[in-house]
Structure 1
Amino acid sequence: MTNRRTPVVAGLMLSSALSAVDSTMVATAVPSVVRDLGSFSLFPWVIAAYMLTQAVFTPIYGRLADVYGRKPLLIIGMSIFLAGTLLSGLAWNMPVLILARALQGIGAGALQPITQVLAADLYPLHERGRITGLLSSVWGVSALLGPALGGLLSELVSWRWTFLIKIPIGLAAILVIALWLKESVQRRPHRMDILGTLLLMGGVTATMLGLQKELLWLVALGVLLLVAFGWWETRAAEPLIPPWVWRDRVTLGSFLGSLLVGMILIGPAVYLPTFAQAVLGASAVVAGFVLAVQSVGWPLAAGLSSRLYMRIGFRDTALAGLVLIGVSALMFTQLNESSPLYYAGLCTFVNGAGLGLVSSAMLIGAQVGVPQEQRGVVTGGVVFFRIAGGAVGASLLAAVANNSLADRLAGTGYTSIDQASRAVEGGGDEVVRLALAGAVHDVFLALIVLAVLGVLAVLVVPRRFAHRS
């Protein structure tokens, strides 16, 4: 790798910003898109198609980056992402927009894992916490600005510019990476694991769709395909995910820990804004800023993580983060209908700090536990399990929230958090408001359980292990 790291890091920051800002900008453009293209019932697929293809292709890119090099895979992924972005901006009906978003997701699968692998390639161990914190800061700021920028573009120009504005940014990132990033890849014959790729794609797609739609038969089909994928990987000449990653305690613990991080992350992201608006009476903008405080705690903790893991090790740093997450979950449970908004913001700050420590320690620990030529596959695995954890967590916590609400409002006709929150915002009675507060409280109790499970997952990682990269 070249020593001229600054331009390359700028390119990585642009790549991270594109990935982070995409979904949040699209979410605020919903009314404008539906007004123009119609088919409101299809709009959830605009989000789901992107998430599904991103999740499926993340581990694939991670593996291919080890085989063919980081640079070509990042440029290919970014190019596919921009092609999907352009098609999204030009879409003439909702099915075309859904197809374009799926194409975007295929490209986006490269952005997170390969930027993180390149950060590990460029920086020595004692500096990786700082660069991870920097990339996390870009992610947090971009995710925070995304809704405001998307809303402004939709209102003042057109929803199409929520997509088109990203094209020059992406082209600039490609140009910087192409010109300044130098790497040498050992060329040798390779055999693509086609069957493994198809089994993984089918398994992940069926499982995530089944969880989102609460279709048990589809979840069962997905699990069956994933089991078949695991069986095949033990026989493939060059497996997509080598079987050794499951036997290695460092990578296994990192994958499990990342799965729990994804599950924990989704709780406040989905239910805190609902609580702030429907129970505390905050506006949508204020509720968004309360949640955005998490994007302050995360990069700060990630930037400081290197000082911790150089002293106490990766496992104990991750455990310290999980303790903070547990503390934040306890703090969340103290929220009630008379709590001040600044207290809710403090909860999210502590939660973000804990997530920053856990995610950095798990990612960098997995990377240093393997040789450089295997960084891609473990990084792709960490990112994939975080995305998968979000899908599992969303379904699990939705079940907790909706069952709790149904028990509290039995016989009233309210069966979901969405129904109750809309009723409260439309002037619903105090009984519904208090029931909604209780249901979200139960979600926060579930976060404590997830934090404990996270501790058990991280304890799989040995306290000390050899650093091989």
Structure 2
Amino acid sequence: MRTTHRPFTTLALALCLFVAALEMTVVSTAMPTVVSDLGGIQHYAWVFTAYMLSSTITVPIYGKLADLYGRKPILLFGSTLFLLSSLACGFSTSMNMLIAFRVLQGLGAGAMQPIALTIIGDIYTLEQRGKVQGAFSAVWGIAGLAGPLTGGLIVKYLTWHWIFFINIPIGIASMVLIVLFFHEQLQRKERARLDYAGAALLSSGVVALLFGVQGSGATLLALPVAAVLLTAFVFVELRAAEPIIPMSIFKIPTIAISNVAGALFSAAQFGATTYVPLYVQGVLGGSATMAGGMITPMIVGWPLASLIGGKVMVRTGFRPLIVGGLGLASIGTVLMALLLKPGASMLVPQIAMGLFGIGLGFAAMATMVAVQTTVGWELRGVATASSMFFRTIGGSLGVGVMGGVLVNQLMKDPNVPVSAATELLGPEHGRGLAPAILETLGGALNTGLSINFWIMCSAMIAAFTAGLFFPKVKRVTTPVNMSDVTASH
């Protein structure tokens, strides 16, 4: 049995996480330009939600598979699918094709982050993990900072296709290092049955919910279908031997409140990163590089606040950081809703996004650590996974609702074709359109995005309200006993 080379394996995992983090921000920056080329602005939100949905739902499934068949083959499978899908995304010739390949890309990405972090837990001792996880947080910060700038530069000097092609060399380097330097010894044990029924009900229920919240007319029928499927999912999970999401953990107030707040602030977060660049480019007339620059204050403020909060938390506990952070982020969304108007200064979205990022840096870090500290080792994995799941689902649903609002506004006037909206995002900013159409379409885009800013604000204030109910938990607390929270079968 060959031994693992930890430094090279760690480098490979860092590259794996880097490419996954980069993908989240580089695409959001370049999307206005993608829409101007491919058209289909009515499907704008689906480019994000398709990726987030497919990657989120598969996280617990990949975790089970990694336990059964080993980390290495599952990580390599996910990385391969991610890279092939990235290549296909770059060659897409329509918005529908791009969305389809983004689904596949998300299916690959669902394996990358959780299994990479699992391997870190396998090859490092408990005392060493703190430093390594801190380094990996820096990787996310660097990728987040580089993403908007990279997206703007790629669009300006190359073509939007390269926002997907850039993944290829980084991903290949990561896979080569994993193959050569990571060697695991599988612990053969009785294989537990995967919760196929729970996975199917969860996937179909969330997809139906996403269709319903951003639709109108007949598509609204998806909402009662989603309610039935998700209710059935809860019943199945209560009886499953190996549930994907154990319902018992929601008896713990810290976890329940953190997940509610996480879903709400993620709706605002993903909405801001999706629609603020669109507003800057489509309404304020900024370039793709300027649109990307609007996200930078949030990307810089978030990791800095997390680092500071990690030190302050020792003295203050969780609650002040959660309540204060959510309050500060709420102020940022209020500024967006009130001050982002046609002709507004570019400083407005930069200041608002800065406050937003700093606030979420405090709150997101504190809620995650609180969840992990509240439970013992035997529940820590599922508790952490539930937090990741609710945050991403909240973001997906938030972007979906806002996408529905935007499409409804653009289609309000039957005399104006939706396809004309794509010209607003081109280099000429719609100068080729008739003045009447340009005025009507610009007004509809502004109205739709303004409504979306108020939706972000409402979600953030609701998250702040949920944070007020967060219990006064010390930094170090007695882990919850398994027998106290395990539901009877």
2:367 is the alignment partner of 1:358: no
Change (3 A) 1:32 1:444: closer
2:328 is the alignment partner of 1:324: yes
Indicate the residue corresponding to 2:75 in structure 1.
Answer: 74
How far the C-alpha of 1:384 sits from its partner, in A, is 2.0
Structure 2 length-normalised TM: 0.76
Change (3 A) 1:205 1:359: same
How far the C-alpha of 1:464 sits from its partner, in A, is 1.3
Change (3 A) 1:134 1:50: same
2:22 is the alignment partner of 1:21: yes
* Separation in structure 2 between the aligned mates of residue 152 and residue 85 of structure 1, nearest angstrom: 20
**3-state DSSP of counterpart to 2:265:** helix
2:56 is the alignment partner of 1:55: yes
Alpha-carbon RMSD:
4.4
**Kept after mapping to 1: 8 A contact 2:333/2:356:** yes
Q: Which amino acid aligns with 2:292?
A: G
Task: Among all aligned residue pairs of Structure 1 and Structure 2, give the percentage whose two residues are the same amino acid.
Answer: 30
1:397-437 alpha-carbon deviations (Å, 9 max, x no partner): 4566678x69xx99896799995994984466779767865
* Separation in structure 1 between the aligned mates of residue 454 and residue 314 of structure 2, nearest angstrom: 33
Indicate the residue corresponding to 1:192 in structure 2.
Answer: 194
2:302 is the alignment partner of 1:298: yes
Indicate the residue corresponding to 2:485 in structure 1.
Answer: none
How far the C-alpha of 1:183 sits from its partner, in A, is 7.3
* Separation in structure 1 between the aligned mates of residue 6 and residue 315 of structure 2, nearest angstrom: 26
Indicate the residue corresponding to 1:272 in structure 2.
Answer: 276
1:204 pairs, out of 203, 206, 209, with: 206
* Separation in structure 2 between the aligned mates of residue 278 and residue 42 of structure 1, nearest angstrom: 14
Q: Which amino acid aligns with 1:363?
A: M
* Separation in structure 1 between the aligned mates of residue 300 and residue 379 of structure 2, nearest angstrom: 32
1:137 pairs, out of 137, 141, 162, with: 141
**Kept after mapping to 1: 8 A contact 2:53/2:393:** no
Change (3 A) 1:163 1:415: closer
Q: Which amino acid aligns with 1:273?
A: P
**Kept after mapping to 1: 8 A contact 2:40/2:419:** no
* Separation in structure 2 between the aligned mates of residue 195 and residue 430 of structure 1, nearest angstrom: 51
Does 299-308 or 2-11 show the bigger shift?
A: 2-11
Change (3 A) 1:397 1:177: same
2:463 is the alignment partner of 1:454: yes
Change (3 A) 1:153 1:318: same
Matching of residues 71-110 of structure 1 within 5 Å:
73-85=74-86, 100-110=101-111
Structure 1 length-normalised TM: 0.79
Change (3 A) 1:264 1:208: same
**3-state DSSP of counterpart to 2:295:** helix
* Separation in structure 1 between the aligned mates of residue 48 and residue 452 of structure 2, nearest angstrom: 23
2:346 is the alignment partner of 1:341: yes
Indicate the residue corresponding to 1:260 in structure 2.
Answer: 264
* Separation in structure 2 between the aligned mates of residue 3 and residue 10 of structure 1, nearest angstrom: 13
Paired residues, what number? Answer: 460
* Separation in structure 1 between the aligned mates of residue 181 and residue 73 of structure 2, nearest angstrom: 13
* Separation in structure 1 between the aligned mates of residue 6 and residue 323 of structure 2, nearest angstrom: 32
* Separation in structure 2 between the aligned mates of residue 88 and residue 437 of structure 1, nearest angstrom: 29
**3-state DSSP of counterpart to 2:226:** helix
* Separation in structure 2 between the aligned mates of residue 99 and residue 410 of structure 1, nearest angstrom: 27
Does 168-177 or 289-298 show the bigger shift?
A: 168-177
**Kept after mapping to 2: 8 A contact 1:117/1:375:** no
Indicate the residue corresponding to 1:367 in structure 2.
Answer: 372
2:235 is the alignment partner of 1:231: yes
2:113 is the alignment partner of 1:112: yes
Change (3 A) 1:15 1:137: same
Is there any run of 5+ residues in structure 2 with no aligned partner, and where? Answer: 481-489
Change (3 A) 1:127 1:261: farther
**Kept after mapping to 2: 8 A contact 1:84/1:104:** yes
Q: Which amino acid aligns with 1:282?
A: G
How far the C-alpha of 1:234 sits from its partner, in A, is 0.8
1:212-269 alpha-carbon deviations (Å, 9 max, x no partner): 4442212321221111111001111111111222212232222212211221113322
